[in-house]
Amino acid sequence: MIDAENLAKLYRDNLLSDVIPFWQRNAVDWTNGGYFTCLDRKGRVYDTDKFVWLQARQIWMFSMLYNKLEKRQEWLDVALAGAKFLEKHGRDAEGNWYFALNREGKPLVQPYNIFSDCFAAMAFGQLFQATGLSNHGNLGRDTFNNILKRRQNPKGKYAKGVPGTRNLKDFALPMILCNLVLELEHLLDAPLVTDTIQYGINEVMTTFYRPDERVILEAVNLDGSFSDSFEGRLVNPGHGLEAMWFMMDLAERSGDNELMKKAADITLQLMEYGWDRTHGGIFYFLDVEQKPLQQLEWDQKLWWVHIEALISLAKGYLHTGDERFSQWFSKLHDYTWAHFPDMEFGEWYGYLNRHGEVLLPSKGGKWKGCFHIPRGLYQLWKTMEAIAEKQRQLIIQDK
């Protein structure tokens, strides 16, 4: 059985006394606006480039804390520091969000990556709930609508592939839309919300899920069929596990017991599939046919994979009571807390080798910022509180 009450305290304290203060203290560029994400182990800035999707994620994070935990002006001030910077510098003339800016806000990398747009929409949707300012709401809504327009060709003119030879669609966009549409529900028409949710569920749970292999693929042909290629054979267990807690949230929202059961089942399947039985932890990438991978980092253990998996296991236990979730959760929790948190200087390491040794001591960079760890700690804190309440109710019933 999960010791939910003590775990809730652990996750809450790590969030509010360690991780959030680390980013609040070290990341904000009060001179130019926006955030530094390239922070070394001690939180010192080692590069000043600003990556738009990480800027947006930090806006979302501090806005969410302000909205859901406490109306702390300091949290809102941090969110606004990023929002003003992105409003001024973040988009090209067509309204697409750049990938990277320099410290002052001049564009460095073109808007090739639609996930800059996804997290910008998420950021301004959450910030609007904090400020009530129409420009924040409009920016979130307009960006979301632009994402839907680009959905069939996300990279547009920046795509490297030759059209017509190997046309694939990726798992990441329909997956994120399942979560993003709920973030923007207060700004969107109800039919659009419903349609987007159904599209996302169908893509995640039917198109990309392969029941025979018990995995979720990262890419398939446009008609949903298997592509025998590096891209088509690729499995990212952490991606699938993250998607499953999105599915559980949608199932809880609609009372869809069938979806809940399927998401719970896939969570267990992906844990079995992705777990490194020799050294512990979850592999970053695997090939569904066990062929050699092109990703040299395939056997690394990453921060976001492990905390997203913990969320899905915790939610699976909350919604099903199945002890297999408790067993996997305890195993993964022990591994994660033994390897990722930096007890001396705060926050979490991002990259371990297969043996669990730290590869990079930095706390942030081009891909890691103020998002997966604090969001995960918040989700785990609240999920553990819900589990603890269920446990208390069961004790009362037994009496």
What's the pTM? 0.97
Question: What pLDDT tens digit does each residue of the chain (399 aa) get?
Answer: 899 999 999 999 999 999 999 999 999 999 999 999 999 999 999 999 999 999 999 999 999 999 999 999 999 999 999 999 999 999 999 999 999 999 999 999 999 999 999 999 999 999 999 999 999 999 999 999 999 999 988 898 898 888 889 999 999 999 999 999 999 999 999 999 999 999 999 999 999 999 999 999 999 999 999 999 999 999 999 999 999 999 999 999 999 999 999 999 999 999 999 999 999 999 999 999 999 999 999 999 999 999 999 999 999 999 999 999 999 999 999 999 999 999 999 999 999 999 999 999 999 999 999 999 999 999 999 999 999 999 998 888 876
The length of the chain in residues reads 399
- Is residue 191 within a helix (H) or strand (E), and if so which, with residue range? helix 190-202
Contacts for 185-190: CB closer than 8 Å, 24+ residues apart: 186/125, 186/128, 186/129, 187/125, 187/128, 187/137, 187/140, 187/141, 187/144, 188/141, 188/144
Q: Which amino acid is at 255?
A: G
**Domain boundaries in the chain?**
1-28+208-399, 31-160
- DSSP string for 204-229: IIIISEETTTTEEBSEEETTS----S
Question: Residue 149's Cα: distance from chain center in Å?
Answer: 23
How far apart CA 316 and CA 123 sit, in angstroms, is: 27
| Nearest residue to 196 (alpha-carbon basis) of 178, 184, 209, 212 | 178
Phi, psi of 62 (to 5 degrees): -75, -30
- DSSP string for 318-355: HHH--HHHHHHHHHHHHHHHHHSB-TTT-SB--EE-TT
Measured over the CA atoms of residue 43, residue 335, residue 287 and residue 379, the dihedral's sign is negative
Q: Which fold has domain 1-28+208-399?
A: Glycosyltransferase (1.50.10)
Q: Which fold has domain 31-160?
A: Glycosyltransferase (1.50.10)
